[in-house]
């Protein structure tokens, strides 16, 4: 019982942050699936989305019920614009050029954010219902912790249905395999690619609201760490696979949170006399996991083997 009571808060927070990683990871994995590009700017889109929220609510005093859809719309617009300006003109260029362009966009956004904020830590506005305190089985937490996994799962189910059942979803799967044949079908490949960025940014916008409600400090590099972990989640699950990205997000979120709490858990249950400062390793864990996956199962848990086209 002591074990359960001390573990539960960490588990809850792990599931929650895992859902947030999952929402970002989908953006990485979908863009990779269609363009074979690691969209380095994705993490910064996530950060800019948070800054938009800060300015919308604190500077422009826009009420939340308008600010929330507005910020999501702006995030989508940003993702769309990045593809249009920085990736589409390089469609027939070598993959390396596109990657360099993605890194350039990433740093441009970070520097822009630095310029606008003056490098100050901006406080994310609290969204009333989400940041209320609630009690789950004697563990006190913010409501966002409980909402995140359900919202994540719901969004993923809708997304997977969209990709499996609709015409444009089927076209996305077709384009991911073969640009040229898709063109012969009359599919506008560029529109399908734009659609991918729109979906990815939309989910990053939602993820951003959930994440920064939990961790309200927004700085220009605030996207880097969650973005990096979401990327690892995508690789862990098998890059290109949406269920894989979601699985990876939850695994990384939960493990990381449990490692953070391991000292407390072990001390409270009497297995340890004094803390070992294991929490220090919670970030390192993610990257060790990345290395292990790359060495032992490069295609990830649910990733398919990419067969060469004959």
Q: Which residues bind other proteins (CB under 8 A)?
A: 167, 170-171, 173-174, 177-178, 180-188, 310
User: Please, which residue, 64 or 174, has the CB nearer to other proteins?
Assistant: 174
226: nearest Cα among 42, 71, 8, 66: 42
With b meaning 16 or more CB within 10 Å and e meaning fewer, what string describes 213-238?
Answer: bbebebbbebbbebbbbbbbbbbbbb
CB of 166 to other proteins, least distance (A): 11
CB of 306 to other proteins, least distance (A): 12
Q: Which two tokens stand for residue 76?
A: 């989508």
User: Please, which residue, 101 or 182, has the CB nearer to other proteins?
Assistant: 182
CB of 183 to other proteins, least distance (A): 4
Q: Are strands 133-136 and 139-142 parallel, antiparallel or unpaired?
A: antiparallel
135 - beta bridge partners?
A: 140
What does DSSP assign to residue 302? S
CB of 170 to other proteins, least distance (A): 5
User: Please, which residue, 128 or 167, has the CB nearer to other proteins?
Assistant: 167
Q: Which two tokens stand for residue 168?
A: 């444009």
Residue tagged 């808060």 (tokens): 9
User: Please, which residue, 271 or 307, has the CB nearer to other proteins?
Assistant: 307
Q: Do 16 and 148 contact (CB within 8 A), yes or no?
A: yes
User: Please, which residue, 295 or 310, has the CB nearer to other proteins?
Assistant: 310
User: Please, which residue, 48 or 171, has the CB nearer to other proteins?
Assistant: 171
Say how far apart CA 254 and CA 238 lie, in whole Å: 18
CB of 23 to other proteins, least distance (A): 24
CB of 192 to other proteins, least distance (A): 10
Exposed, middle or buried, 90 (CB in 10 Å: 0-12/13-18/19+)? middle
What does DSSP assign to residue 38? -
User: Please, which residue, 153 or 174, has the CB nearer to other proteins?
Assistant: 174
CB of 156 to other proteins, least distance (A): 19
Q: Which two tokens stand for residue 309?
A: 């086209």
Q: Are strands 122-123 and 133-136 parallel, antiparallel or unpaired?
A: unpaired
């Amino acid at each position: 019982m002591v074990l359960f009571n001390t573990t539960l808060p960490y588990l809850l927070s792990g599931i929650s942050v895992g859902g947030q990683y999952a929402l970002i990871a989908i953006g990485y994995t979908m863009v990779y699936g269609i363009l074979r590009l690691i969209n380095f700017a994705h993490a910064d889109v996530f950060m800019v989305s948070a800054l938009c929220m800060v300015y919308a609510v604190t500077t422009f005093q826009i009420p939340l019920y308008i600010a929330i859809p507005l910020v999501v719309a702006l995030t989508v617009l940003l993702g769309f614009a990045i593809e249009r300006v920085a990736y589409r003109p390089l469609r027939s260029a070598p993959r390396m050029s596109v990657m360099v362009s993605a890194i350039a966009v990433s740093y441009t956004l970070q520097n822009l954010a630095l310029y606008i904020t003056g490098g100050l830590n901006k406080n994310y506005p609290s969204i009333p219902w989400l940041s209320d305190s609630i009690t789950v089985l004697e563990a006190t937490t913010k409501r966002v912790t409980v909402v995140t996994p359900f919202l994540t799962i719901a969004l993923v189910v809708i997304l997977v249905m969209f990709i499996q059942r609709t015409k444009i979803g089927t076209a996305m799967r077709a384009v991911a395999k073969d640009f040229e044949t898709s063109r012969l079908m009359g599919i506008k490949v560029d529109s399908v690619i734009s659609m991918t960025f729109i979906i990815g940014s939309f989910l990053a916008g939602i993820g951003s609201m959930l994440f920064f409600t939990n961790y309200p400090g927004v700085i220009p590099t605030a996207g880097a760490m969650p973005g990096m972990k979401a990327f690892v989640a995508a690789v862990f699950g098998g890059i290109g696979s949406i269920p894989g990205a979601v699985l990876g997000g939850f695994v990384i979120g939960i493990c990381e949170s449990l490692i953070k709490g391991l000292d407390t858990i072990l001390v409270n249950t009497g297995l340890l006399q004094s803390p070992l400062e294991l929490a220090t390793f919670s970030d390192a864990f993610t990257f060790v996991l990345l290395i292990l996956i790359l060495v032992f199962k490069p295609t990830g848990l649910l990733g398919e083997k990419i067969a060469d086209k004959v």
